[in-house]
Amino acid sequence: MTEADTTPGSQSALRQANERRVVEVLRRDGTRTQAELARATGLSAASVSNIVRGLRSAGAVSVRNTSSNGRRARAVTLLRPPGTVVALAFTVDRISVAVGDSDGNPLAGEEIEYEVTTDPERAVRRAAWLVETTLLRARIDPGRVGAVVASVPAPIDPGTGVVGDISCVPRWAGFRPGPALSERLGSPVLVENDANLAVTAERALGAAQGVDHVIRLVLDVGVGAGIVMSGQLFRGAGGTAGEVGHIGLDQRGQVCRCGNRGCLETFVGTDYLMHMLPRDSFRGAGPGTAGLAGVVDAALEGDPGSRRVIAEAGTALGQGTAIIANLFNPELVVIGGELAAAGDLLLDPMRRAMELGTLGSALSDLRVVASTQGADAALRGALLMASHSLA
C-alpha cells in the first residue's frame, strides 16, 4: 500500500470514496436502480455503472433487470459490504498474516519466524512488508482492503491502544502498534489482545458457538483469557481483564515476571514447564529440543515424567480456573494452546481441582473442553473482527 494509493485526492482514494457512497445508499434504502443511485449520490450514470460492475464482480451486490417509469432499468441489491480484510498476529517468535473476504473467510496467508520481542518498531516494519507480500502474491489490490486487525500477546488499553507493562513482549510496553501499523499500511489498524481474538473465533467457529458466557484460556509463554459475558467481550477498564496468569496460587512459589510469587503462569507457562524435565528425559531428544509439543507427545505415548508435569499443570490450572469460575460463572471454559493437545491428561486433573475449589452452583452447569481452533485462533478472530467492522 503505497502513499500514492491512499493519499486523499488520488484516483484510488476517489474510487473508494465513491464506492462507499453507493454502498451507504444501498444499505440505507435497500434495492435501488442505477439511475436512483446516481441521483442519490450525485455521481454520473457512467460512474455508478462502473462501481456497480466492480461490486457485482466482487460478489457484493446482485443486479437484475426491471423497469422504472416504463423504461428498462437495472435494480441493485446489496448482498454484503464489499472489500477485503487483513489480519495480523504477533507471537513471541512469529508474525502471521491472513487476508479474507468481507465475511472473514480466509483467502490467503503467509507467516515468518521473527523475534518479535526484541524491537516493536522493527516488528511492525516486518509485518507491513509481510502484509504487502501476501496481497501481492494473492493478486489482491491493496486499495480493496477495508479493515485491518492485529493480534498482540499483551494487554491493550482500549482507550489509548497502548501495550501494557506486563506481557510476553516486555519491550512493547508503552508502544502503540496501531498508529505505527496504520502509517505503513495506509489503513486504520485496530489492535487487540490475542486471547480476546481467540474467544471471538471460538464463539463464531469453534467449541463456544451459541454460548454467551464463556472463558477461553490461552496457554503459552503466558496464560491469558478471553472473557465473554452476556455475549459481549469483556476487556476491563484498562484492558487487563483476562490476565489470569497472574492469579496467585502459592506465596512461596517461584517469582513471576510480574514480580509476585507463585502466579498461575509459573505452574502452566511454557518456559516454566520446559525447565521441569531434564533435556534427555525421553527418547534422547528431550523437551529442550522438541519443545512443549514434544513433552505432550511423550506424555501421550506414556512417558511418566511428561505425564507428571502435565498432570501438575492441570491441577494448578484447575485451581486458577476455579477462582475464575466463582467470579464470572461461565457456562463454558475452553482450553487453547499447545498444552491443550494433551487432552484428558491435562483436563482430568484440572476438573478434579475445580471440583474442590468451585462453588457447586457455579460448577453444576459448567463444561471444560479443549479448543477446536488450534494455533490460528487469534488470527481467525482478527479476520472476523475486521469483517464485522465493515458492516
Model confidence band, residue 385 (pLDDT cutoffs 50, 70, 90): very high
Helix (H) or strand (E) holding 391: none
- Structure-model confidence comparison of residues 278 and 360, the more confident one: 360
The Cα–Cα gap between 234 and 120 comes to 26
pLDDT at position 232 is 96
In this prediction, residues 30-39 reach a mean pLDDT of 92
Q: Decide: 153 and 167 in contact? Cβ < 8 Å.
A: yes
d(CA 301, CA 294): 10
Q: What is the pLDDT of residues 119-175, one digit of tens each?
A: 999 999 999 999 999 999 988 878 778 899 999 999 999 999 999 998 999 999 999
Question: Quick count: other Cβ atoms within 10 Å of Cβ 255?
Answer: 11
Mean pLDDT score across all residues of the chain: 90
Contacts of 139 (CB under 8 A, 6+ apart): none
d(CA 108, CA 105): 10
CB of 349 within 8 A of CB of 299? no
* 3-17, 44-58, 166-180: range with lowest mean pLDDT: 3-17
- What would the pLDDT profile of 341-369 be if each residue is shown by its tens digit? 999 999 999 999 999 999 999 999 899 99
Please name which of 169, 144, 166 lies closest in space to residue 12, comparing C-alpha atoms: 144
Q: What pLDDT, on a 0 to 100 scale, did the predictor assign at position 391?
A: 64
The answer to whether 86 and 390 have CB atoms below 8 angstroms apart is no
Cβ within 8 Å of residue 4, ≥6 positions away: 10, 12
Residue labelled with grid coordinates 474467544: 199
Task: Identify which has the larger pLDDT, 323 or 186.
Answer: 323
Band of residue 285 on the pLDDT scale cut at 50, 70, 90: very low
Flag whether pLDDT at 5 surpasses 50.
no
Inter-residue contact 279 to 286 (CB < 8 Å): yes
Burial of 136 (0-12, 13-18, 19+ CB in 10 A): exposed
Query: What average pLDDT score do residues 252-268 get?
Result: 94
**CB distance 109 to 86 below 8 Å:** no
Q: 277: which 3 cell numbers?
A: 524435565
- Give the pLDDT confidence score for residue 253 in this predicted structure: 93
Residue 152, amino acid: V
Confidence of residue 280 (pLDDT cuts 50, 70, 90): low
pLDDT digits (tens, 9 = 90+) for 56-78: 887 788 999 988 787 888 999 98
- Do the beta carbons of residue 239 and residue 155 sit within 8 Å? yes
Cell of 241: 481483564
Q: Residue 287: pLDDT band by 50, 70, 90 thresholds?
A: very low
- How far apart CA 294 and CA 107 sit, in angstroms, is 31
3-state secondary structure 137-199: HCCCCHHHEEEEEEEECCCECCCCCCECCCCCCHHHCCCCHHHHHHHHHCCCEEEEEHHHHHH
What percent of the chain has pLDDT above 70? Answer: 93
Contacts of residue 219, defined as CB under 8 A and 6 or more positions apart, other chains included, come to: 268, 269, 270, 317, 335, 336, 337, 338, 339, 340
Domains assigned to the chain: 3-78 (1.10.10.10), 84-194+378-390 (3.30.420.40), 207-372 (3.30.420.40)
Of residues 68 and 43, more confidence is placed in 43
pLDDT of amino acid 12: 67
Question: pLDDT at residue 283 above 80?
Answer: no
Query: Which of 340, 339, 331, 345 shows the shortest CA–CA distance to 370?
Result: 340
- The identity of residue 178, as a single letter, is G
Per DSSP (E only), the strands in the chain are: 32-33, 61-68, 71-78, 84-91, 94-100, 106-113, 145-152, 189-193, 214-219, 223-229, 232-233, 332-337, 367-370
* Per-residue pLDDT band at 281 (split at 50, 70, 90): low
- The DSSP secondary structure of 285-305, one letter per residue, reads T-HHHHHHHHHHHHHHTT-HH
284 has a pLDDT exceeding 50: no
Helix (H, G, I), strand (E, B) or coil at 342: helix
